Amino acid sequence: MNTELPPAAPELLPIVELPGVFADALLRDERGGLLFCSLWGRDTAIQELLARLSVPVEEGGLRSLHVEGPQGTETVHFDRMPTTDKLSGRLPPKNLFGNLVQLWLYDRLAVEPDRANRRALLLQRNATHGEAALWHLVRSVTHLPLLDHWNEVVLDVFRQNDWIRPLRGIQVDAVFVDLGSDAVEVEISRLVREGRLTLDTDQPASLRQAA
């Protein structure tokens, strides 16, 4: 008999500025800027939100929202609208809640890395993504020819330098990858010179994991 309980449904969090619109997932950068949010509301309320995000503040536009989160009010800033995409879907017409729409607003980095600036965002569900997905993203962003058996050493060093850093949100987490610094190439060259990165796939673990 399976006694494992099903996962709890995400809590719907009210939006202060838009009565009737709720968030069930939210992710921001270190400055509070929007990276991802999932919103629910009736069609008219969602259309009002989209309209207010597209007009100047002096005309009633919005450049930030306040979400009543489990730890208090969370402010999310819409300061990168040119790089923000949207996707929406509707519940079937015959449902208990009426004309309900789900809207996703997300930074384009979540679906398409910025290879020119070597930046990317890996969305996660409660930090459940493995290292393989992160390593694949790092290799796709960097201009350096990284070998697969370097992954442990390289990811550790990138984390130490904050070129890879975790972001915690509500019902969604992420890893932000920023390899635009010239120091990235300098660091990889140093690891090669020290023998911590070699062509040998069977290099000793003591070399791969040396401090």
Using one digit for the tens of pLDDT, what is the confidence trace for 149-184? Answer: 999 999 999 999 999 999 999 999 999 999 999 999
Q: How far apart are CA 46 and CA 23, in angstroms?
A: 12
Average pLDDT (61-78) is 90
Taking the complete model, does pTM exceed 0.85, yes or no?
A: no
Question: Which helix (DSSP H) or strand (DSSP E) does residue 185 occupy?
Answer: helix 183-193
User: Measured between alpha carbons, how far is residue 163 from residues 7, 30, 143, 150 in Å?
Assistant: 33, 14, 14, 16
Amino acid at 164: I
Residue 163 Ramachandran class (φ > 0 left, ψ -120 to 50 alpha, else beta): alpha
Confidence check: pLDDT of 56 > 80: yes
Name beta bridge partners: 67. Answer: 15, 74
Residue 21: pLDDT band (50, 70, 90) is very high
Residue 109: pLDDT band (50, 70, 90) is very high
